[in-house]
C-alpha cells in the first residue's frame, strides 16, 4: 500500500517534511514516533517497528517487537506545531501483522464490532471539562486562579483565548466542535465535541487534550484535566452522550409507550451500565484523584442511579424534542481516562443489558438525604470511594475484563495498583497539619 495521492499532495502543498505517528499507552498517555515524510510509503506497506517495552503499561520485554500501522483516515496537519508537521494515528500490530491484543484502539474496535453484529450503530459525543491555572505559582508555591468566573460567564481572559485556539485547531483538523464555555468553577472551562463513531471520538479527545496543553503555555497558563485540582474546586468530568441507531437508521433508544420516552432497548442498555457501574469505574475514572470528585456535590455522581433532571446522577436521560434522537449520558467519567478503553467498557456494559434484557429500576430524581432510611438503603449502591475499591470492583466484573481483553486488563490493573501503593506511601499536607502536634 502506498501513501494515498491526496496525502502525498497535502504533504507537498504544506511543505511537510516530518509526520508524527501517534498512539496511546494503556493508561491513555499520547505517545509519538516521528518519521520523515519520505518514509510514509514504507510505514503503510510494512508498518514501523518500535520497541514496545519502552512504553509504560504497554508491553513486557518478552513481547517488545511491535509495529505501528498508520490509519490513513486520521491524516491531518497539526495546527499547533512550531514547524509544518502532520500526524497519523496508528494501530499496533505484532510482527506477523496480527493486531496487538493490548492496543486500546483495537479493544474499542472489537466492542464496536459486537454492536454491529446486533445490527446496532453506537455513536457518541462528549463534554470535556478542564481547569486553567496561571503557569507561575504564587509565592507560597500554591496554584494561582486566573478568574472568578462562573457558569456561562463571558470573559476576556487568556483561558477563553486558549479554548478558541484549541477549538479552531480541531475544526481545521476536521474534528467537529459543538461549543465551548466557562464552567461553574473559577478557571474551569468546557469544550463539547459533536457526535461521531466511537473510535473517531476517542481520537478527537486525545487531539483536544494535546491542543489545550500546547496552546495554554503560550498564554501563560497551565491546563489540567485533573478531576479535582483543589479541595474547594468544582470537579472536572467528561460527560459522554450515547446514541444508538438500528440498521435502518431509526433511533433505538426512543419509545412512545414509556413515561420517559425510552424504548425497551434503552431501558436494558441503561440497566446494563448501572449493573456494571462499579466494575467500569476504575477505567472511566482512573486516578487516585478521580475519587475526590466522585463524592457527590457540584453535580458529580456518588450513587449508582439514573434520572432525567437530577444532574448528580450516574446516568442522565435528557428530555428529547420531537424528531431528536434520545440520549443516554454517563456522567461519572473524567478526562484523565483513556478514551478508547472508557468507551469500550461503556458500550460493552450497555450491550450486556440489552442481551440479558436486564430490568431498569425507577429513576432517582432527587439526591439522597443522608440519615434517612432511604439514603441508608442506597449506601449499597455507592460508586467506589477510592481507586483501590474501584480496582477490587473491576476484579469482580468479568464483563468489563472481557471488554478490555485480558492483556489490557492485566497491564491496566498492574499500573493502577502501583499508583495506589505510591499514594499510600505519600504524606499529605492535611496529615502534617492535623497530626504533627497530635498527642
Q: What would the grid cell of residue 207 be?
A: 487531539
337, 242, 368, 334 alpha-carbon torsion, rounded to 10°: 10
CB 367 within 8 A of CB 296: yes
Break the chain into its structural domains and give their ranges: 5-99, 109-430
For 130, phi then psi, to 5°, come to: -160, 170
| Model pLDDT, residue 385 | 94
Residue with cell 441503561: 270
Total Cβ atoms within 10 A of residue 196: 16
DSSP letters spanning 271-327: HHHHHTHHHHHHHHS-STTHHHHTTSSTT---BS-EESS-TTSSEE-PPPPTTSPP-
| Model pLDDT, residue 54 | 66
Total Cβ atoms within 10 A of residue 115: 18
- For residue 53, with 0-12 CB atoms within 10 Å meaning exposed, 13-18 middle and 19 or more buried, which class applies? middle
pLDDT in tens, 267-276: 999 999 999 9
d(CA 84, CA 15): 7
Quickly count helices (H) and strands (E) in the chain.
14, 14
Using CA atoms, how far residue 320 sits from 270, 315, 348, 363, 439, in Å, is: 16, 15, 24, 17, 59
| Model pLDDT, residue 143 | 78
d(CA 214, CA 217): 7
Q: What would the grid cell of residue 340 be?
A: 478508547
CATH topology of domain 5-99: Ubiquitin-like (UB roll) (3.10.20)
For 122, phi then psi, to 5°, come to: -100, 125
| Model pLDDT, residue 377 | 40
pLDDT in tens, 404-425: 999 999 999 999 999 999 999 9
Q: What would the grid cell of residue 203 be?
A: 481520537
Q: Which residues of the chain have pLDDT under 50?
A: 370-380
DSSP letters spanning 361-402: PPP--S---BTBHHHHHHGGGBPPSSHHHHHHHHHT-HHHHH
| Model pLDDT, residue 156 | 60
pTM of the model: 0.93
Contacts of 62 (CB under 8 A, 6+ apart): none
Total Cβ atoms within 10 A of residue 41: 13
Contacts of 57 (CB under 8 A, 6+ apart): 25, 26, 27, 411, 412, 414, 415
Helix (H, G, I), strand (E, B) or coil at 410: helix
Continuous H helices in 118-177: 158-172
CATH topology of domain 109-430: Creatine Kinase; Chain A, domain 2 (3.30.590)
- Which one, of 18, 24, 16, 22, lies nearest residue 56 by Cα? 24
d(CA 57, CA 68): 17
Helix (H, G, I), strand (E, B) or coil at 338: coil
Longest dimension (CA), the chain: 75
- Which one, of 245, 272, 249, lies nearest residue 326 by Cα? 245
| Model pLDDT, residue 107 | 97
- Which one, of 430, 412, 395, 252, lies nearest residue 327 by Cα? 252
Q: Give residue 60's Cα distance to chain centre.
A: 25
Q: What would the grid cell of residue 408 be?
A: 489490557
Domains 5-99 and 109-430 agree in fold = no
pLDDT in tens, 86-127: 999 999 999 888 999 999 999 999 999 999 999 999 999 999
Residue with cell 442511579: 305
d(CA 108, CA 345): 8
Amino acid at each position: 500500500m502506498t501513501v494515498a495521492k491526496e496525502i502525498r499532495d497535502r504533504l507537498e502543498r504544506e511543505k511537510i517534511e516530518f509526520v508524527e505517528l501517534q498512539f496511546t499507552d494503556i493508561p491513555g498517555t499520547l505517545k509519538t514516533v516521528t518519521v520523515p515524510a519520505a518514509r510514509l510509503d514504507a510505514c503503510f506497506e510494512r508498518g514501523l517497528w518500535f520497541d514496545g517495552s519502552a512504553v509504560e503499561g504497554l508491553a513486557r520485554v518478552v513481547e517488545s517487537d511491535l509495529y505501528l500501522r498508520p490509519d490513513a483516515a486520521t491524516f491531518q496537519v497539526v495546527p499547533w506545531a512550531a514547524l509544518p508537521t502532520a500526524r497519523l494515528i496508528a494501530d499496533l500490530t505484532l510482527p506477523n501483522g496480527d493486531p496487538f491484543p493490548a492496543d486500546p484502539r483495537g479493544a474499542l474496535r472489537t466492542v464496536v464490532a459486537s454492536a454491529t453484529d446486533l445490527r446496532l450503530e453506537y455513536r457518541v459525543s462528549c463534554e470535556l471539562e478542564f481547569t486553567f491555572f496561571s503557569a507561575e505559582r504564587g509565592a507560597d508555591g500554591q496554584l494561582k486562579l486566573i478568574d472568578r468566573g462562573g457558569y456561562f460567564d463571558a470573559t476576556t481572559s487568556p483561558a477563553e483565548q486558549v479554548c478558541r485556539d484549541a477549538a479552531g485547531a480541531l475544526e481545521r483538523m476536521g474534528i467537529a466542535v459543538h461549543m465551548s464555555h466557562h464552567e461553574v468553577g473559577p478557571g474551569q472551562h468546557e469544550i463539547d465535541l459533536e457526535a461521531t463513531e466511537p473510535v473517531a471520538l476517542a481520537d478527537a479527545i486525545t487531539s483536544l487534550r494535546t491542543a489545550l496543553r500546547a496552546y495554554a503555555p503560550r498564554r501563560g497558563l497551565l491546563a489540567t484535566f485533573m478531576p479535582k485540582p483543589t479541595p474547594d474546586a468544582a470537579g472536572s468530568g467528561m460527560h459522554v452522550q450515547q446514541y444508538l441507531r438500528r440498521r435502518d437508521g431509526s433511533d433505538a433508544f426512543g419509545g412512545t409507550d414509556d413515561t420517559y420516552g425510552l424504548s425497551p432497548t434503552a431501558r436494558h442498555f441503561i440497566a446494563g451500565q448501572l449493573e456494571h457501574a462499579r466494575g467500569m469505574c476504575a477505567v472511566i475514572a482512573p486516578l487516585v484523584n478521580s475519587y475526590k470528585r466522585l463524592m457527590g456535590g457540584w453535580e458529580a455522581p456518588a450513587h449508582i442511579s439514573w434520572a432525567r433532571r437530577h444532574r448528580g446522577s450516574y446516568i442522565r436521560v435528557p428530555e428529547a424534542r420531537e424528531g431528536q434522537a434520545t440520549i443516554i449520558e454517563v456522567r461519572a467519567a473524567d478526562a484523565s481516562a483513556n478514551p478508547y478503553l472508557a468507551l469500550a467498557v461503556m458500550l460493552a456494559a450497555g450491550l450486556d443489558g440489552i442481551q440479558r434484557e436486564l430490568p431498569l429500576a425507577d429513576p432517582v430524581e432527587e439526591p439522597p438525604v443522608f440519615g434517612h432510611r432511604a439514603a441508608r438503603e442506597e449506601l449499597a449502591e455507592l460508586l467506589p470511594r477510592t481507586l483501590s475499591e474501584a480496582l477490587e470492583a473491576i476484579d469482580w466484573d468479568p464483563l468489563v475484563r472481557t471488554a478490555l481483553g485480558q492483556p489490557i486488563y492485566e497491564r491496566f490493573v498492574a499500573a493502577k495498583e502501583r499508583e495506589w501503593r505510591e499514594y499510600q506511601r505519600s504524606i499529605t499536607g492535611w496529615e502534617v497539619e492535623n497530626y504533627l502536634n497530635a498527642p
